[in-house]
């Protein structure tokens, strides 16, 4: 999954307009990225087709800013924010980091994560899920694959976008 694909799926999942999605890029005070709704709409037009041109790829740092903005939007600002840290040019955002940021944004516990993954089509055990959130040098660390991340976003979409059943009239 590319960063563009992840951004597209998350926009659909949370039903963000261009203006709302652009605001997420700059809602984290520690973020150095500022994007206007017009710039974001222009960017979306460039990536709308599935042509994976390198010049149109969302950088890892920009996706991290978007996800940090999502955390701020869903949970609010931290009480004791640390100093603003600029992302290094060689900054890499792993699928594990993306899964962790989505977990934080949604304030999910282990059971909710497993339920969402199951809804999306991936059945994992608690230990398999825990391995995704370990440090890379830990002996039980496991890299999150595209399919697991895709299924988590799919399960999240089903939870957030599926209309609730109307009450039955008696």
pTM for the whole thing?
0.83
* Over residues 52-81, mean pLDDT: 80
Cβ atoms of 67 and 98 closer than 8 Å: yes
Domain end (from 35, 67, 91): 91
Indicate if 75 and 121 belong to the same structural domain: no
Indicate if 86 and 100 belong to the same structural domain: no
Indicate if 120 and 38 belong to the same structural domain: no
Residues 10-60: tens digit of each pLDDT: 999 999 888 888 888 877 666 666 676 677 777 777 666 555 555 578 888
Q: State the chain's mean pLDDT as an integer.
A: 83
In a domain? residue 169: no
Indicate if 112 and 146 belong to the same structural domain: yes
Indicate if 71 and 111 belong to the same structural domain: no
Domain end (from 56, 71, 91): 91
Indicate if 50 and 99 belong to the same structural domain: no
In a domain? residue 11: yes
In a domain? residue 123: yes
Indicate if 22 and 103 belong to the same structural domain: no
Total tally of structural domains belonging to the chain: 2
Rounded CA-CA distance 145/121 in Å is: 14
In a domain? residue 147: yes
* Over residues 122-128, mean pLDDT: 94
Indicate if 85 and 120 belong to the same structural domain: no
Indicate if 111 and 146 belong to the same structural domain: yes
Distances (CA, A) of 48 to 13, 14, 43, 90, 96: 17, 18, 9, 26, 26
In Å, the largest CA–CA distance within the chain is: 62
Domain of 57, in residue numbers: 1-91
């Amino acid at each position: 999954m590319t960063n563009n694909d992840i951004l597209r799926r998350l926009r659909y999942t949370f039903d963000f307009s261009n203006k709302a999605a652009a605001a997420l890029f700059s809602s984290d005070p520690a973020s150095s990225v500022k994007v206007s709704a017009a710039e974001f709409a222009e960017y979306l037009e460039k990536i709308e087709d599935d042509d994976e041109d390198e010049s149109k790829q969302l950088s890892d740092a920009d996706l991290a800013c978007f996800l940090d903005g999502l955390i701020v939007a869903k949970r609010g600002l931290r009480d004791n924010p640390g100093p603003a840290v600029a992302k290094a040019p060689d900054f890499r955002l792993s699928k594990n980091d993306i899964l962790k940021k989505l977990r934080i944004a949604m304030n999910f516990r282990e059971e909710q994560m497993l339920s969402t993954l199951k809804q999306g089509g991936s059945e994992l055990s608690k230990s398999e899920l825990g391995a995704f959130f370990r440090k890379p040098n830990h002996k039980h660390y496991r890299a999150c694959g595209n399919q697991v991340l895709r299924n988590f976003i799919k399960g999240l979409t089903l939870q957030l976008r599926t209309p609730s059943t109307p009450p039955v009239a008696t």
